Structure 1
Amino acid sequence: MESTLEKKERLSMWVIGVLSVAIPVVVAILLFMPKENAEIGGFAILPHLNALINTGSAVCLIAGFIAIKKGQKDWHQTFMVSAFILGSLFLVSYVLFHFFGPQTKYGDLNGDLLVSAEELAALAIPRGVYLVILLSHILLSASVVPLVLLAMYYAWTSNWPKHKKIVKWTWPIWTYVAISGVVVYLMISPFYQF
């Protein structure tokens, strides 16, 4: 017979699994959902806010890493919970922006893609770099969701062997996602049309 603890863990794993699939699916739908005459309104500040949130998350992740290496477990916990809260706020803000906001394409000025050969040539390498960073950011942000949720769950339940094992993968991916999110913002922000 299954114990209460085993039932709770099974339910927690089920919830983590559902969220790990649902979050990337919702984001993908929002990114590819056609938007006719999108009105950004008061949501225009969200990309800038998202960059600040990602920066804060990256700082917390790095500070949390330094704290645990110094044996400062309380500080580590504070920084990692802060990174998780910031990541959650980012996700809500990101979903809101992409639900209401228009798509922005790298190299798109005033709604018209640059057309002169000189302008296209000047953008070719930066656009390639942007697309590589963006693609890696998107793929890793989807894959880090279950890792973060599991790392937080194992810490919450004081399952330190499993927590330590999973954070070896979680921390570098999560940190890359936070930093690359800021880089993507810095590269695309000159092309915002709002």
Structure 2
Amino acid sequence: MSKLVQEKKYKKIITALSIIVPVAVAGLFLINLKKLGFNVKPLTFLPPIYATINGITAVLLIAAVVAIKKGNRKLHEQLNTTAIACSLLFLVMYIGYHMTSDSTSFGGEGVIKYVYYFILITHIILSIVVIPFVLTTYMRAKLGDFPAHKKIAKRTFPLWLYVAVTGVIVYLMISPYYV
């Protein structure tokens, strides 16, 4: 199969995932199993774990950039693959938490409340926007199109890093208000 045919196939998958994942997350976020009458234990222990995973993702992304700048393509690939796995693990835990636990409201007052909501809203929006960027960047590397990979990676890296870091910040800001 030619690279062009492979790329077209992957682009269809990337487009589908870029739509399905946010819609599914939004849908699952609205489903609370306890409120639906299921006898489930709230997974209230998950937020510090998935915040840590966000932090690990940020470190992996920075290490991946350092690796490629030093010419270590294999390590770069391994670090980015692990970062994708961490992002997927985060997503599963995030959904699990919100399907079994009541949402926590931010209790801060004044300017800090606006700072929190700015960070939260930009985090959520960019976590959706970054999906096709990450998948396209990864696909281009897998197909060996390194000039195109490098070009999109320059946009993907800061977006993905922002999402990972702000995930930790959002957790730290809201953690005093968990019940």
Relative to the length of structure 1, the TM-score reads 0.84
1:56-80 C-alpha deviation (Å, 9 max, x unpaired): 1000001111111122222211211
Q: Residue in 1 aligned with 2:98? A: 98
1:132-177 C-alpha deviation (Å, 9 max, x unpaired): 0001100110000000000111111111111111101000000010
Aligned 8 A contact 1:40 1:102 in 2: no
* Cα drift, residue 29 of structure 1: 2.5
Aligned 8 A contact 1:57 1:87 in 2: yes
Distance 1:70 1:6, change over 3 A: closer
User: Counterparts in 2 of 1:124-135, with a 5 A limit?
Assistant: 124-135=110-121
* Cα drift, residue 6 of structure 1: 3.8
Give structure 2 stretches of 5+ with no counterpart. Answer: none
Aligned-residue sequence identity (percent) comes to: 39
Aligned 8 A contact 1:154 1:163 in 2: yes
Aligned 8 A contact 1:104 1:191 in 2: yes
Q: Residue in 2 aligned with 1:26? A: 24
Aligned mates of 1:138, 1:42 — CA distance in 2: 23
Q: Which has the larger radius of gyration?
A: 1
Q: Residue in 2 aligned with 1:41? A: 41
Q: Residue in 2 aligned with 1:166? A: 152
Aligned 8 A contact 1:106 1:188 in 2: yes
* Cα drift, residue 9 of structure 1: 2.4
Q: How many residues align?
A: 176
Aligned mates of 2:53, 2:59 — CA distance in 1: 10
Aligned 8 A contact 2:46 2:93 in 1: yes
* Cα drift, residue 4 of structure 1: 5.4
Aligned mates of 1:159, 1:58 — CA distance in 2: 25
From 3, 6, 9, the equivalent of 1:8 is 6
Give structure 1 stretches of 5+ with no counterpart. Answer: 108-121
Q: Residue in 2 aligned with 1:175? A: 161
Aligned mates of 2:162, 2:4 — CA distance in 1: 34
Aligned 8 A contact 2:64 2:75 in 1: yes
Aligned 8 A contact 2:34 2:101 in 1: no
Relative to the length of structure 2, the TM-score reads 0.90
Partner amino acid, structure 1, of 2:145: N
